[in-house]
Structure 1
Amino acid sequence: MLVDNIIVVAERRLLFPEHIVRMVRCTARELSTTILYSDKLAELRKPKEAANFFTGLDNADANDWVQDLRNRTINRTTDDSVIICILDTGVNRGHPLLEDFLPERNMDSVNPEWGNADTDRHGHGTPMAGTSLYGDLTDILQDASNIEIFHRLESIKLIHPNNPHQPELYGAVTEEAIARATILNPVNKRILTMAVTATDGRDKGKPSSWSSSIDKIAFGEAGTTNDKSLFCISSGNTDINHVSEYPQKNIEESIHDPAQAFNALTIGSITHKTVIDQAQFRGATPLVQAGGMSPSNSTSLSWENNWALKPELVLEGGNYGIHNDGIIDPDSLRLLSIGKNFRTEPLHSFGDTSGATALASRYAAMLTSQYPMLWPETIKGLLVHSADWNSEMLANRNIEELNNPEQRDLLRTYGYGMPDFQKAVRSANNSLTLIAQESLSPFVLDGSTVKTNEMHLHSLPWPTEVLTALFDSEVTLTATLCYFIEPNPGNKQYSKSYYYQSHGLRFKMIDSGESIEHFRERVNREARMEDQGGTYSGESWIIGNKVRDKGSTHKDIWKGTAADLATRNTVAIFPVNGWWRTRKKLLRYNNSVRYSLILSIDSSNNDIDLYNPVLNQIDILI
């Protein structure tokens, strides 16, 4: 409505117990002569601009914003910096925000005749590069502080819209692209990033030649060497064209090939973007409420239960709006990145599962830069470990209130939720994170039979005295196990995942009052019973092995009293079936594999120090 024909007050408002929040549009003079004299005013805040503010600027003004960000960006890269390798449509590296981080020598193409430039109609590889480097520019452009960047980019042009590959060649082309990147920078750690997928999810979780190639690339040439890579892949987009299609179409839309790959970090999309310019779209409302599933998200709800839980993570992918009963896609509901045609369009809207994947890749590169001694398996595990579900994903319930089918649907829609980078990168005093990077030989040849071999028992340096003193205070234990499998795509049976995976690993926690000898016997018994669905209820995990033990990343949560946790100080890692065991003639039974086990305990009591007592018990390497 209009107030004295001067101040425009938005019709919508936010109601809180003691305050009402409204958007007001006026000049500084009008503000100083009216609202500031009201005794009802609690505070004023400048509203954050959405992406459409920046995409609506003329070229000169947009370039001013770009130049300001460039002036605030501190380049911390070196010759051995972590690299995000973007497998996409090429990148136009001349953009002022890109050129310092993507040198010409870091660009190549699987077909030299294509050149290296971004040939997508609207630009795809270029905004992927911008988001992988900076994140969502909507927020960063409005922040006056300096930013530091420690990672670089590579661009390997994988596809050309006018010259598509034959479908059966996708895996081979991807392998060639990564080989070209390795030649460009043979010693650098890299995060592989691909938001190029098949147009549908017809495989429904079953391995394809393409997804098998992804698993092969991530696994490396051998199980314990350092030639492994973290591969971030978009789950593939769902096309929503009518209001009535959401969310049913997302439920039916299977994650696209090759994002079913066990070893890949598959990224889906959620959204927190709900602002729509009412002057342009009067009466429009967001299709999805803040924190809900983005319209672009695809799921693994239609897959058989044997296959991996995908996506593992969800990040911002943008939203749609409802206007006059139709779908609209305004820039304000999308991320902001850099434009392909940067001389005429320095800033460009971006999003969907591609944008979410670029954001995840940035997190992975930042984490690797800070902790270069961590394996790709550990980086993947830490991001999953840091993730959580919001109230919208959980339908305003707690995870422990969901039954197993509901938990399965949650994980096959949102994965483990949205990662918290700050949680992944550091620990507060009232929380503690332990990381074990180990190698294990899962099988051994005993006479003429391949049998299960090693089990690892991890004795945990819990601060027992601190936990015991807390007594009945609630604490939370989160466990994440991450490893890479060697694929075997030649077997068409696929009735069980172990026909495809080289091995599986599982974790168990000792029960309160259980002896080490009994725990070891129990783990051996349950490992033999896995195929029959055997389980033990005494560990009291919230999700449980029937839901969590799919694919090659497993996460679960335990909640209980601090005194109870103090007695649960041993975790077992043990192997389960895979083709290394069943296909003896392939001579893999002597191979070793790597895994990362991440454990954290958290207390809601901020006055409790869980971190420092552990420093007195162990040598901290990280």
Structure 2
Amino acid sequence: MADKRLPLLRGRITSVDTYEAPQGRGGTPPKMPSLDPKVHRTTLLQQLDAITQQVKARAESARDALAKREIVAVRPAANAQLAPDQLDDNRSDARLVGVMPEGTVVLDVAKADLKYLRKKLDAFADDAKVETKTTKDGTVTTHRDKERAIAPVGSIGLAVLEDLGGAQLRADALPDDRPFWFEIGCRGGYRNPVDDTNGSRAQIARQLHRLGVNQKLDEFLGPEQVYFFVRVTRAQLDALRAATDCIYEVELAPQPLRDLKLFDDVSMKDLAEFALVQPHEDAPSVVVLDTGIATGHPLLKSAILTATTAGPEIPSPEDTYGHGTKMAGLALYRDVGAAIERGSAEAPHWLQSSRLLIAPGYGTAADENYEKWPVLTERAVRSAEEADARARNRAFVLAITRTMQDPPLEGLAPTLWSQAVDQLSFRDGHGRLMIVSAGNARDNQWLKLAELHPQLQLSEKIHQPAQASNALTVGAFTARVELPNDKDYAEARVVATKPGGISPYTSTGLAGSEWPIKPDVVLEGGNLAISGTLPDATVPTLSALTTSHRHAYGRPMGLMSMTSEASARAAHLAARIWTLEPKLHPEAVRGLIVHSASWSKAMLKDFPGLSDRLQACGYGVPNERFASECAQGVATIVVEDTMPNAVIEEEPKKTPPKKATTKATEPKARRKTKLYRLPLPESLLTDSDPDVELRVTLSYFAEPNKFGRRTYHGLDLKWDMQGPQESDDAFLQRINVLKRTLGADGKRVKPTKTKSFDWDVGIQARSRGTVQSDRWRGKMSELVGDKLIAIVPVLGWWDQRKPLRTQQMNFSLVVSVFGPGVYAAIKPRVEAEAAITIDV
């Protein structure tokens, strides 16, 4: 008889404390250029005067009627680094737009005279405002007022196209008379007043008409910019910039969506008598964002809750291409063949389809419509939600991707499509589970990759929008290594020969310290056969049986593999977790899928180096049972909470007021750390000192803000844990400066070095993403004794926006302990402590 299911344990944050991060290594300020302050001031003043003269000399008809502001570029001196936060001024309505890749700071200013910068120049050149300091070793240093702002400045001027252009636009010498698609970032966005977006839209539309460019203006709304896609010549683009006051950045739009490679359908027996029982009305749903769905398919129709489209460009939700229907079959069934043999099934969850394209390369997926993809993806998501008014847990799955390795997008970078996925996941702080396939290896590389599988697979990089930090990015492994016992395959060989190795179809993660671990996990995605010099992707034993859109023509079944199969299976898993644990937040479901993943023996053997293994396999293959329940030897605790960017607290003023009637306190923004004490009673320790495993996963959805080739997050988090030989005080002092003792000089004393557990991944690598998982194995004696886990804030762009400084973000912490007797020992403590209210 099967064991009774043990539900996940639900914990609560144990305590909250004010927090200050320790200074990281290499945090010394950049060296200031050596220069004559007065000469430097004179030079920059002349440039500011030139800006004023340029604006005065501009013909009244030269710019749009709404263009009243100026876009200014502050360029760094050679080998210098500007301090962007020192160059704007709220009181003067001078807004920091962002920093271009080569270091130029872009400002959006209300007045061309830039009086606030002139004041900083005067202060910098004033010898009366020089401060001299002598260090303990006798070194004398001098610091001028406003030095960080002014000293690194090389030049200041009205921004020209070269200042605002992205890396591709700078690299390509475009002919002036040939039109290209451009992506233009302008003043606006959903975090700014709607008048900003409306003003930019009006200016761009009006000036395009003036230039003779008649096209529908497609746009995508980010948090602090509105992006427009226009097809113009480089000369027209420069004229558009000169005639408006709203353009912040411009870049060549990337290449169109590549054709998806699908397989021939195969015939199956008639399904006319198949009975599919509908799920419960409150059951979760999987939303397939693809080519639509065959709404009359007997294996699907009773489970289809809604079928919609991304917009009026797509005439019908019906699938005429096939990919979406194949995705739907794998998203609904764990084993389609078993359901057919039984002749009936109970749908475990609902299906929703939102048709995103008709066919690769056609209609919305055609070359000229690439710019619509961020907006279409957003509209497809909202269309599915609006079609079903019930508050429901939904897993959205997107297996339509595009390579970032073919010209003209030869390089890996954030794109508006990946930002759209990140924004959809953030969902104004409420969270939305977006599952994206990592993308398939380019089919023209299959034979080459097969020669040195799996190591050469590392050269095939994930597709957009799978680089989105908030997405659950799914790559592919395979356990299918057997060819049919058929003479047609006598000369064939499989590429992946070891069960549990990565699939020859999968693409792999991004190298470099700025990228999160991607893919997050890998699921079954099938295998490739080679016959002589021909690749064969249609071998039945190497693919998954699924539903086909050709059911009306007597061909109800099809084959599917690759990362499309893997992502559909991930969506099925997410819905399964929600069926068993319906109160979980989307962050927690994503966290549990990653938390439950493990590397197979083949993965450990094929990729002995951790970095290569993470790029190829992510955290490994998820385990459904581990992701959704406890067991007698496994205790899994889920903590769901929120983290504020800062909390405003009243604190005594440094100098007490002279008058009794004057307020003695002032508001200060303080960071918080949240602590969870993992209950590990001493009773778990026995003479045998058994082996144990510890897993910790933090999951959250950050608000993205793209500028140039980087995506910034409103707030990031990271976690750390008290080590086996570390006291509570030592741990708190290690992670939080405010917990350190004060020395005789009044400064915080750096504590004796202590450390956490010897984790598999380590804090540096795991902290790069918005799902951060790690594992440790050792002896029970090292683990027992209640251990603290800290979640701490890592400040982002929210902190630079006054209205957002107290914004909160949801997070989920998942902790599992594997070992004899852990569930029985931990469960009572977790349940008792979850009832205690913590003051925040």
TM above 0.5, yes or no, is yes
State how far apart, in whole Å, the 1-side matches of 2:754 and 2:503 are: 37
Hey, what's the Cα distance between the residues in 1 that align with 2:426 and 2:283?
22
| Residue 137 of structure 1, aligned match among 333, 336, 339 | 336
> Contact (CA 8 Å) 1:480, 1:599: kept in 2 or not?
yes
Note if 1:371 corresponds to 2:581.
Answer: yes
Deviations 1:347-371 (A, max 9, x none): 1001111111100001101111221
Instruction: Give 2:299's aligned residue.
Output: 97
Corresponding position: 1:164 with 2:364: yes
Distance between the aligned counterparts of 2:529 and 2:512, measured in 1?
33
Question: Does residue 453 of the first structure (1) align with residue 671 of the second (2)?
Answer: yes
Instruction: Give the superposition deviation at 1:395.
Output: 0.9
Aligned to 1:149: 347
2: CA distance, partners of 1:325 / 1:113: 40
Give the whole-Å Cα distance in 2 for the aligned partners of 1:484 and 1:519: 27
Aligned-residue offset at 1:512: 2.9
* Preserved CA contact (<8 Å) 2:544 2:560: yes
Query: Which amino acid in the other structure matches residue 457 of structure 2?
Result: N
Tell me the distance in 1 between the aligned counterparts of 2:533 and 2:339. Answer: 34
Deviation string, structure 1 residues 272-298 (Cα, Å, up to 9, x no partner):
112212322113221112212112101
1:505 is aligned to 2:717:
yes
Q: Residues of 2 paired with 1:422 and 1:563: CA distance?
A: 27
1:469-528: per-residue Cα shift (whole Å, max 9, x none)? 255321110111111100011x2263xxxx611122111111234332322121125999
1:244 pairs, out of 448, 451, 469, with 448
**In 2, Cα distance between equivalents of 1:333 and 1:282:** 15
Are 1:234 and 2:437 matched, yes or no?
A: yes
In structure 2, the partner of 1:256 is 463
Q: Distance in 1 between matches of 2:433 and 2:754?
A: 33
1:49 aligns with none
Q: Determine the structure 2 residue equivalent to 1:480.
A: 697
Q: Name structure 1 gaps, 5 residues minimum.
A: 1-53, 529-534
Mark the CA change 1:378 to 1:615 in structure 2 (over 3 Å): closer, same or farther.
same
- 1:207–1:443 distance in 2 versus 1, CA, 3 Å: farther
Give the distance between the partners of 2:573 and 2:807, measured in 1 at CA.
32
Q: Which amino acid aligns with 2:588?
A: T
* CA–CA distance in structure 1, aligned partners of residues 602 and 293 of structure 2: 36
Of 814, 819, 826, the match for 1:598: 814
Question: Displacement of 1:236 after TM fit?
Answer: 1.0
Q: Distance in 2 between matches of 1:131 and 1:56?
A: 16
Q: Provide structure 2 residue ranges, at least 5 long, that are not aligned to the other structure.
A: 1-263, 652-665, 741-752, 836-840
Instruction: Report the 3-state secondary structure (helix = DSSP H, G, I; strand = E; otherwise coil) of the residue aligned with 1:394.
Output: helix
Per the alignment, residue 118 of structure 1 pairs with 319
Provide the residue aligned with 2:793 in structure 1.
575
Contact 1:269 / 1:316 at 8 angstroms: preserved in 2?
Answer: yes
Is the contact between residue 109 and residue 116 of structure 1 (CA under 8 Å) also seen in structure 2?
no
Is the aligned partner of 1:441 residue 2:633? no
SS in 2 for 1:457: strand
Residues 305/513 of structure 1: CA separation in 2 closer, same or farther (3 Å cut): closer
Q: 1:575 to 1:232 in 2, by over 3 A?
A: same
SS at match of 1:454: strand
Report the secondary structure of 2:604's partner residue: coil
User: For residue 77 of structure 2, what is the aligned residue in structure 1?
Assistant: none
Do the aligned residues in 1 keep the contact of 2:404 with 2:412 (CA within 8 Å)? Answer: no
Q: What corresponds to 1:272 in structure 2?
A: 479
- In structure 2, the partner of 1:8 is none
Q: CA deviation at 1:205?
A: 5.1
- Identity level (%): 29
Query: Which residue is equivalent to 2:655?
Result: none
Q: Which moved more, 1:558-567 or 1:125-134?
A: 558-567
Alignment CA distance shift 1:112-1:328 (3 Å) = closer
Residues 407 and 547, structure 1, Cα contact 8 Å, conserved in 2? no
1:472–1:339 CA distance, 2 compared to 1 (3 A): same
In the alignment, the residues of structure 2 paired with residue 285 and residue 203 of structure 1 have an alpha-carbon distance, to the nearest angstrom, of 32
Q: Deviations over 1:188-233 (max 9, x none)?
A: 2211111111243548553211111111111112x3x4xx210011
Give the SS at the match of 1:304: coil
d(CA) in 1 for partners of 2:558 and 2:577?
27
Q: Is the 8 A contact 1:175 1:213 kept in 2?
A: yes
Name the CA distance, whole Å, in 2 between partners of 1:492 and 1:551: 19
TM-superposition CA deviations, 1:591-613 (whole Å, max 9, x none) = 1111111111112xxxx322122
Higher mean Cα deviation, 271-280 or 428-437?
A: 271-280
Q: Provide TM-score, normalisation by structure 1.
A: 0.79
Deviates more, 1:343-352 or 1:247-256: 247-256
**Equivalent runs, 1:603-622 vs 2, <5 Å:** 603=819, 608-619=820-831
C-alpha RMSD of the superposition = 2.8
TM-aligned CA deviation for residue 441 of structure 1: 1.1
Q: CA contact under 8 A between 2:457 and 2:507: conserved in structure 1?
A: yes
The equivalent residue for 1:341 is 550
Partner Cα distance (1:450, 1:294) in 2: 53
2:493 — aligned with what? 285
Structure 2: distance between partners of 1:426 and 1:85: 24
TM-superposition CA deviations, 1:240-298 (whole Å, max 9, x none): 45533234663222211111111110111111112212322113221112212112101
Q: Does 1:547 align with 2:547?
A: no
| Contact 2:266 2:558 survives alignment (8 Å) | no
Return closer, same or farther for 1:483/1:56 CA change in 2, 3 Å cut-off: closer
CA–CA distance in 2 between the matches of 1:450 and 1:74? 58
Contact 2:457–2:508 at 8 Å: present in 1 too? yes
CA offset at residue 149 of structure 1?
2.6
CA distance in 2, matches of 1:130, 1:548: 34
Q: Is the 8 A contact 1:128 1:354 kept in 2?
A: yes
The 3 A distance-change label for structure 1 pair 77 and 245 is same
Cα distance in 1 for residues equivalent to 2:318 and 2:703: 34
| Local SS of the residue matching 2:386 | helix
Output the CA distance in 2 between the equivalents of 1:488 and 1:234.
22
Asked whether the 8 Å contact 1:527–1:576 carries over to 2, the reply is no
Q: State the one-letter code of the partner of 1:84.
A: V
* Distance in 2 (alpha carbons) for counterparts of 1:478 and 1:133: 30
For residues 452 and 334 of structure 1, do their structure 2 counterparts lie closer, same or farther at Cα, with a shift above 3 Å needed? Answer: farther
Q: What aligned pairs does 1:138-537 form with structure 2 within 5 A after superposition?
A: 138=337, 140-141=339-340, 144=342, 147-161=345-359, 162-165=362-365, 166-186=369-389, 187-201=391-405, 202=409, 206-221=413-428, 223=429, 225=430, 228-241=431-444, 242-246=446-450, 247=453, 250-277=457-484, 278-289=486-497, 290-301=499-510, 303-329=511-537, 330-343=539-552, 344-395=554-605, 406-444=609-647, 453-466=671-684, 468-469=685-686, 472-489=689-706, 491-492=707-708, 494=710, 500-525=712-737, 537=755
Seen in structure 2, the aligned counterparts of structure 1 residues 539 and 334 have a Cα distance that, compared at 3 Å, is same
Decide whether aligned partners of structure 1 residues 419 and 527 sit closer, same or farther in structure 2, where only a CA change above 3 A counts.
farther
Q: Which residue of 2 aligns with 1:16?
A: none
TM-score, scaled to structure 2:
0.59
Distance (Å, rounded) in 2 between the aligned partners of 1:579 and 1:390: 39
Deviates further, 479-488 or 150-159: 150-159
